[in-house]
Structure 1
Amino acid sequence: MVAHSRLPLLVLLSLLTVVSAHNITDILAADPQYSDFNNFLTQTRLADEINTRQTITVLVLNNAAFSAVADKHPLSVVKNLLSLHILLDYFDNTKLHQITNGTTLSTTLYQTTGTANGNVGSVNITDLKGGKVGFGSAASGSKLDSTYTKSVKQIPYNISVIEISAPIIAPGILAAPPPSADLNITALIEKAGCKTFASLISTNGLVKTFQSTADKGLTIFAPNDEAFKARGVPDLSKLTNAEVVSLLQYHATAKYLPVGSLKTTKDAINTLASNGAGKYDFTVSSAGDSLTIHTGVDSSRIADTVLDSTPLSIYSVDNVLLPPELFATSPSPAPAPEPASSPSPSSAPTPAEAPSPLPASPPAPAGDTPAGSPADAPSSAAERSTSAGKSSGVHVKASAVLTVTVTALSALLISTTFM
C-alpha cells in the first residue's frame, strides 16, 4: 500500500522536471570570461533562439578566442559564426567520448538559415587519441582546428554548454552579405509570392521608408497574393491615402525580430504605423514551430521566412493584417426614448390608476469586434561537479494543461495515501 501511494508522487515529480527550461544569458553571465560571447548572443537575438530549443549544445569561446574573430567583422557575419557554434543535439563529456566509430557530424543553427550549402552548416566532432575531442567544419577538406576544453553547464538532456579552444570556421562563413541599403526589398517580397503587397508599398512611397529603417532594425510581414483575394478583406479603394499608408505601415516594425525572438515576445509589438493616432500594435503567439499574429480584428499565420539577415527580417503571412484603429466596428448608439405626451386634465388617471413609466428602448447590440588544446580532456567527474554546482539559467514554467494534470495527480496522491 505504501509503495502504491508513492507512485503518483513520482509521476508528479517527473512532470515538474519536464517543464524546467534554460536561459543561456543567465548561464554565461555566471562567468565573466564569456561576456563577449554572451553579449553577441543577445545582440544577434540568437539567445532567444537557444532558449526556445528543447535540445541544444552551445560551443562557447572565452573572450580572447572569440574577440580575435568577432572584432574584425560586422554583426551579420558574427551571427553566422555564432550560429555554427550552436549544435541541434545534446553533447556532454561522456557522450563526446562515446561517439560511434569515433566521429560524427552534427547539424547547427547555421544550417537552418538556408544560406548554408552542403555540409557547411554542420560540425565534425571527432574523438581523437590521447583523450582529446576535435571540432571543425564538416565541409570537405576542413581541419579540426578546435578542441574540447571543459564543461561549463549541463541540464541533461536539455542544454549543454561546453568550452572549445578556437572558433570553428566554415568555408565562406566570414564573407559579409550585402548591407541592408543594397538589398532590393521589393524584389525579395515579389519573389516570395507577395507581388500585390510589393506593388502597394512602391506606389505609396514606403520602399524608401523601409530601406532607411532597415539599417537600424526592421521586420516586414508581407501578405501573399492570395491574402488580398480572401473574403472579408476591405476594399482599399474606399480608404483614404493616409489610411492605406497606415495599413501598409502596420505590416512592419522597426525592430529586428528573427523567429526565436517572435517565439519569446510576450508584449504587444509596435509597428511603423504606431506614430499616428492609436496604438497600431499586435501580439504574436506560438505553438511549437507555428507562429500566429493577432491584431484584435483578425489573425494570420506566419507562413515562411523570406529573409533573416541581421538587422532585417522579412516574412510572408497568410492574411492581410487589419488594425482595430481602421477596421474595428463601433457599437451602434442606443436610440433615445420617445417623450411621453402629456395627458389632458380631463383624461388624466387618478394616482392609484397611473400606469408605470414607459421603459426606454433597449440599447442596440454592440458591434462585433473579432477578437590551444589541453593534453587531456576533462574528467566526467569534474563535469558532474560543474553541473551540480551551478543552478543559474534554470527557470520553471507550467502550461495550463500541466496545471490541470498536476492538480489531478495531487488529488490522486491524497486519496491513495489515506486508503
Structure 2
Amino acid sequence: MASSLVMLLLIIGIAAPWSPTALAKTVNSTRVLAKFDHLSTFNRYLSETGVIKEVDSRSSITLFIPPNAVLDPVIASVGANNLLVIADILRYHCVLQYLEIKEIRSMTNATGIVLATLYQTTGKPTGEYGFVNVSVSHGGLIHLGVPGAASNATVVKNVTQHPYDMSYMELDHPLMPMDLGIDQGAAPSVNNLTAALKAKGNFNTFLGLLASTGVDKSLRSMSAVTLLAPDDDAFKALPPNALAELSQAQKIALLQFHAIATYFTMGSLRSVATPLPTVASSRIGGFELNVSTAGGKGVSFVTGLNRADVTDTELDTPPVAVYAVNRVLLPPEIFALAPAGAPGPALSVAPSLAPELSPAPTPGPSSSPSPSPSPSPSPSPESAPSPSPVMVPAASPPAPPSSETPSSSSSAPEEAAPGRSPSAARASVSLDGGALVAAGILVWSWMCL
C-alpha cells in the first residue's frame, strides 16, 4: 500500500507540469526573448509600454519580431519617448492566435488570409487596419503586410515556440499600421451605443433588458465593442416565458453573450478567426461565438444551439459597431435543446455561475478560446437550420473556470465544437493522453502489490 501511495504521488508530480494549461500560465515573454540579444529593442519596449501585460494575459498568440537593426530606426523616427505610438507598433506585431510555420503554409496561399492583431483590440484602427495579411509565396516564404497593400515583411525564421500557446517568429522588416499615431484617449465615446437602437424603434425588448440588468452601463465603460442586437421579433420567437424563467445572473450572461469586446467591421467579421470570445467569456469562460459566411456575402453567428443572421448595420463608428440580428443567440451554457415531444420550456444555469456575473464594468477581450461543451446534436456553422428551440435544463452545466486555470475538460468529441482551432484540439488530446498513461501506471502498481 505504501509503495502504491508513493507511485501515485510521483504520477501526480510528474504529470501536472506537462499539462498545456499549466504551461500557458508560466510563459513569460520577456524572459523568453531575453535569450536573444538581437531582439532586445522589441523586448525592452514590451515592458516600457506595458504591452507585455496584454501579451502575457493571452494563452494563444504569435509575436512577429523585427530585430534591433531594423526596429531601432523606426523607434527613432517616432521618438523613443512616444510610448503610445510605440505600443501600437508592438501590438500590430502580435497576432491573436498560435501559429507555426508549417501551420501557416497549410492554411494560406499566395493570396493570403487576414488575421486580427492586438492592435485591433484597442478599437482605434479604422477599416481593416487592425488586421495583418499573411501570405505564402511559391517558394514557401511567409509574408506579412497591411490588408490590400503589398506585403513588406518576410518571416526569417522561428525564434521559439511553447505549443500551443505562445509562438515567436523573426521578421526582416517592421510592420506599420496605416493609421498609426492615434492617442489612447482619442477613441470616440460609446455613449451612443444604445441611442442608435432607440432611434430605430424595434429593439425595445433588448434595450429594456440592457437597462434592467445594468449591462448597458458596463458596455459604456469599454474601450471598444461590437454589439449584436436582436430585434423585437427575435424575442417574440422565443418559447413562452423563456425570459421570465431566467435568473438575473442568467439574463446578464445572455446579454453579455451578444457583445464582443473588440470593434469589428462587417468586412473583418468575414475573415476573423473563430470562435470569438464574448464579454461573457471574459468573466466566466465559455460563451463563445462562431462566425459563418456560408451561402453568400452575409454574416451569421452560430452558438451550437442556433444561428442568427446579421440583417442590418445600425452603427459603425470606431470603436463601436452595432449589428441587428434576426434571432436571440442561445448560449449552450444556459440553454439546451429538448428532444422531440418534450414538455414546455425550462432554463437552468450552474449555481456557481451566479456570483461571477454582475453589471459591474466588464474587462477587455479575452483571446483564450475555451470551447464550451456542445449538446448533441449540435448544428454545424455552415449548414444548420435556425430552429425556434424548445428549451430544457442544460445537462450538467460546466462550472466556471477559476482565475488561475482555464477550463479544458469536456465529454463532447473534438469535432462537436464548431470552429474549434486545431491548436485547442491538440492540447486536449495531449492532456487526455497524459491522463491515460498515468492511469495505466497506477493500475500496474496496484497489481504488483
TM-score range, shorter chain: 0.3 to 0.5
Which structure ranks higher in relative contact order (CA pairs < 8 Å, sequence separation ≥ 6)? 1
Task: Return the index of the structure with the highest Cα Rg.
Answer: 1
With the length of structure 2 as denominator, give the TM-score of the two structures.
0.41
